[in-house]
Amino acid sequence: MTKVFISAGEASGDLHAAALTRAILQRDPTAQVFGMGGDALAAAGGEVVFNYKDYSVMGFVEVLQSLPRLFGLKKAFRRLMEERKPDVFVTVDYPDFNMRVAKEAKALGIPVFSYIPPSAWAWRRGRAKDVARLATKVACIYPFAAQVYQEAGANVEFVGNPLVDIVQPTLSPQEGEAFIGKRPGHPVVLLLPGSRVKEITGVLPVMLQALPKIREKRPEVDFVLQKAPSIERELLQSILASSAVPVKVVEGRGYDVMAASDAALATSGTVTLEAALCGLPSVICYAASPLSMWIAKRMVYVKYIGLPNILAGREILPELIQEKMTPDHMAASILHFLEPEAASAVREEMRQAVAKLGQPGAVDRTAELILETAKENP
């Protein structure tokens, strides 16, 4: 029986881990998949020993503040490795923590499979060499990432991007519109404020201030907010209580919601790429602590933070970062996307950008590589 210890530390990682788990269990129904994840991993047949919701953080300063808690989790991971003796340890993104526990796995003789390795193409390039030393196999989901890891000496493969498989609306367009309560002649602006508490409390209040400005010019527009599984509804409601404009909160069916919407205000992250795959233009918003941004400006190699923009090699979606993240800028960008010609042009640019993500089948290819890596473990 193949035992796979998987570690995913946030909402997007949970989805990737779930897709991998389904593909692994399809190939080997006797396999055990366990570790850190959330509701998606559990629904896919994985055993959630640690729930990522208890440990999710973002930003340099925020990670430092959480180190004592994460150190305790690292010890718990090692104990689980010693008890369950997995055939392979699979890390899914969440680099600061996962690279620490990967060292524990390697020390115990457990092969490390790095899926969606640290973004060394973007910052802290030296991490690619660290991963090359630690990981038996590295699976990259961006071609530019695979190149950096190849140069670092890793046993790396560009598997394609799993979002090409994962991002598939399941409802018909009419059913999707009914799910979000879309009315004929009423465009929908979708709010995607993020999956971490700090993102919600930092970005959502600014988004809400933009809504009356959009309504002023386009009174027919409706607003919908997609709730991430990791965020408590009470937190959202407490912030939404201050909104001057009604906002409908929906949960689940994320890709159907995106496909039924006309434009989005989105916190920077994988969600902007998911939106692009659904043909939804988004305004990319991001704010971190001043110290985190000061460090980032000195360490980051890439010109853009939005994945669709990085793929395109230019800013096809507006990036509102720190002081640019204002209600006025948000409103102006959304109003632009609601113009038919602008919407059509940006959708074509997004289509060209996401075409660089490779062919479908990334999840199946990765599951096969994981099982191969596990079998090689004596």
- Residues 260 and 280: their CA atoms lie apart, in Å, by 9
The per-residue pLDDT for range 48-79, each reduced to its tens digit, is 999 988 765 544 445 555 666 667 888 999 99
One domain for residues 210 and 289:
yes
One domain for residues 115 and 236:
no
Domain assignment present for 167: no
- Residues 118 and 91: their CA atoms lie apart, in Å, by 10
One domain for residues 217 and 119:
no
| Residue in this structure with the two tokens 């180190």, named with its chain if needed | 67
CA distances from residue 88 to 7, 85, 220, 286 in whole angstroms, order as listed? 11, 9, 54, 35
Confidence of residue 162 (pLDDT cuts 50, 70, 90): confident
pLDDT higher for 350 or 64? Answer: 350
One domain for residues 348 and 366:
no
Domain assignment present for 166: no
One domain for residues 367 and 341:
no
One domain for residues 187 and 64:
no
What domain count does the chain have?
2
Q: Please give the pLDDT value at position 296.
A: 56
Question: What average pLDDT does range 353-364 have in this prediction?
Answer: 93
C-alpha torsion 308→312→313→315, nearest 10: -60
- Residues 200 and 79: their CA atoms lie apart, in Å, by 34
Q: Please give the pLDDT value at position 61.
A: 47
3-state secondary structure of 92: strand
The per-residue pLDDT for range 32-48, each reduced to its tens digit, is 999 999 999 999 999 99
Residue 261, pLDDT > 90, answer yes
Domain assignment present for 368: yes
CATH number at residue 119: 3.40.50.2000
Domain assignment present for 200: yes
One domain for residues 345 and 370:
no
One domain for residues 364 and 352:
no
Output the six-digit token pair for 264.
């989005």
The per-residue pLDDT for range 221-236, each reduced to its tens digit, is 999 999 988 888 899 9
The mean-pLDDT minimum among 128-142, 157-171, 280-294, 309-323 falls in: 280-294
Q: Please give the pLDDT value at position 277.
A: 97
Q: Please give the pLDDT value at position 317.
A: 97
pLDDT higher for 214 or 67? Answer: 214
One domain for residues 111 and 182:
no
CA distances from residue 214 to 48, 222, 240, 275 in whole angstroms, order as listed? 42, 10, 17, 20
One domain for residues 135 and 186:
no
Whether 111 and 2 have beta carbons less than 8 Å apart is answered as: no
One domain for residues 353 and 364:
no
CA distances from residue 234 to 241, 253, 373 in whole angstroms, order as listed? 11, 20, 43
One domain for residues 260 and 207:
yes
Range of the domain at 16: 3-161+360-375
- Output the average pLDDT for the chain: 90
Question: What average pLDDT does range 136-148 have in this prediction?
Answer: 91
